[in-house]
Amino acid sequence: MSLANRSLVTIDDLSNKEVEAVFPLADQMSDSMNRQSNVCQGKIMASLFFEPSTRTRLSFETAMHRLGGSVISTIDVNATSLAKGESIADMARVVGSYADIIVIRHPWEGVAKVVANYAGVPVINAGDGSHEHPTQTLCDLYTLKKERQTIRGLKIALCGDLKYGRTIHSLIYALTRLGATTFLWPGPGLDMPENVKQKLITEYGADVEKIPADNLPLLVGSQDWAGDASLDAIYITPSRAHQLALIPDISIPIDLVKEYDALYVTRLQQERLTATAEGQELKRDYPVVDKKLLKGKEFKRTLVMHPLPRIDELAYEVDADPRSMYFKQAARGVPVRMALIALLLGAKEVDITEKEVSPAQKRAYPFYRRDFGVSCPNPSCVSVQETETRYIKLEFQIVTNHPLTLRCVYCEHEIYPQYIASSDWHQGMLKNKKYHRADSHWVRKIKPENLIVFDSESRAQSHGFQPSNYASQR
């Protein structure tokens, strides 16, 4: 099966079978690294990194050179025409005419999708703000597969900055899809974003089990962990959710306590924080993984993983421990990215006997496309940036009507509009242009193609709509 001319913007752009088919090819690349120099000969990769990077940028560029291709690159937005006000779309069109494949990292969430829409060549997301980092997830899954031979049934604890850590967001989607059970250990104030949680539940059928504080010692087998951590949820795989739903809370820790297969640690994403004082406060109580923690019986065989770079959350004393995997993760980035580049350029194919559509292809949500009424609430979303609003049309998926939930197609943040109206008013007369509360029965009666949403009454009235009898009722 060919993945030629596909882009990888989110981990959901690959099906489960496609994800797992990357790994045997990465093995081949790793075993014969010096014999791959003709695979992508004559091809050019554009490496566009508008945020700092060591491992991701250099591993991508190394991968392309190992495959026999060439690299053109830029690592400073101020050295490009973006600094002059050029749009992302125009940049994508131009770079797409120079290169055969584009790898991009950018602080705005959704930029990789915009580039993929306009470039005309395969695009790989190397990290877009706090949104996703799908190739890091491929490296993480590859490490789990190499060390544990399977992903299904593994128990993975995710520790640290779960709010802004883009590696965490891509990883938890993939782990849930592939049948792992994940435990959340966020730093204070750094819990998993609500839109990520809702996507896990609504799209992958994951079940969330809240763990009472007095059950934490049972869950982790260690009073020390319970005292230091803020573990507040378990994401259980779809294959086990309904079985566990009938079991009392006390049975959940007993069932899952025995041992963690991996502890995935992330640093505090200081660059995403708006205030220095906030960063210092979060840093003070941030969880730390060290020798003392790893002495617990529940960590006897636990792999310690980290996407790097680390700051203070992972002690250097762990480096010599055979359970530490983070430098292996970094090294494996080259063969994994070699495999991915070769696949997207059509130089290699994956062996998949049974075709499976990706989660992104499966989604059948109706779309909401209007340039008024609401906007994405995420200030880091590409769709709200001044240079991009000239051409980007607001676009949301209508995820559910109860409550009415719209998901931005660029950054995947969700909004819950307060008021709704229909474009199908009688004879277009102003007196028939009524708006209603979003939780009224009208939300079920208005067809998606006629739906108009507003985030306030004043916004509805500014567009000529008047309140109906259902504008104030709940």
**Model confidence at 278: pLDDT above 70:** no
Range of the structural domain that residue 25 is part of: 11-132+332-353
242 and 310 share a domain? yes
* Model pLDDT, residue 426: 65
312 and 287 share a domain? yes
Q: Work out the pLDDT band at 218, boundaries 50, 70, 90.
A: very low
pLDDT, mean of residues 111-115? 98
* Model pLDDT, residue 376: 94
- Does a structural domain hold residue 1? no
d(CA 413, CA 196) in angstroms, rounded, equals 8
Q: Work out the pLDDT band at 214, boundaries 50, 70, 90.
A: very low
Interaxial angle between packed helices 16-31 and 326-344, expressed in degrees from 0 to 180 and rounded to the nearest 10: 100
Burial (Cβ within 10 Å: 0-12, 13-18, ≥19) of residue 460: buried
169 and 186 share a domain? yes
For residue 264, list its beta bridge partners: 158, 305
d(CA 200, CA 194) in angstroms, rounded, equals 10
Position 405, amino acid: T
139 and 120 share a domain? no
- Does a structural domain hold residue 101? yes
Q: Work out the pLDDT band at 402, boundaries 50, 70, 90.
A: confident
172 and 302 share a domain? yes
pLDDT tens for residues 155-171? 999 999 999 999 999 99
**Model confidence at 425: pLDDT above 90:** no
Q: How many CB atoms lie within 10 A of CB 65?
A: 16
Least confident of 22-31, 327-336, 364-373: 364-373
84 and 205 share a domain? no
Phi-psi region of 68 (alpha: psi -120 to 50; beta: other; left: phi over 0): left
Instruction: Give me the CATH number covering residue 429.
Output: 2.30.30.20
- Does a structural domain hold residue 474? no
Chain mean pLDDT for the chain: 87
* Model pLDDT, residue 276: 54
* Model pLDDT, residue 409: 96
d(CA 165, CA 20) in angstroms, rounded, equals 23
Q: Work out the pLDDT band at 272, boundaries 50, 70, 90.
A: confident
- Does a structural domain hold residue 298? yes
Instruction: Give me the CATH number covering residue 86.
Output: 3.40.50.1370
**Domain boundary residue, one of 353, 388, 423:** 353
100 and 195 share a domain? no
Higher-confidence position of 250 and 318: 318
319 and 379 share a domain? no
Structural domain total, the chain: 3
Least confident of 26-30, 175-179, 247-251: 247-251
pLDDT, mean of residues 184-212? 83
Is there a cis peptide before residue 309, judged by omega within 30 degrees of 0?
yes
Q: Is the CB of residue 316 less than 8 Å from the CB of residue 308?
A: no
- Does a structural domain hold residue 4? no
23 and 45 share a domain? yes
251 and 279 share a domain? yes
395 and 252 share a domain? no
**Domain boundary residue, one of 321, 353, 385:** 353
- Does a structural domain hold residue 2? no
Q: Is the CB of residue 394 less than 8 Å from the CB of residue 417?
A: no
Cα torsion 308, 314, 315, 321 to 10°: value is: -80
pLDDT tens for residues 219-263? 444 444 444 444 556 666 555 433 333 333 333 443 444 689 999
292 and 379 share a domain? no
* Model pLDDT, residue 226: 41
Per cent of the chain over pLDDT 90 is: 65
* Model pLDDT, residue 223: 40
- Does a structural domain hold residue 30? yes
pLDDT, mean of residues 60-66? 97
**Model confidence at 403: pLDDT above 60:** yes
**Model confidence at 215: pLDDT above 70:** no
For residue 303, list its beta bridge partners: 262
- Does a structural domain hold residue 473? no
**Domain boundary residue, one of 313, 329, 345:** 329
* Model pLDDT, residue 470: 83
d(CA 147, CA 140) in angstroms, rounded, equals 11
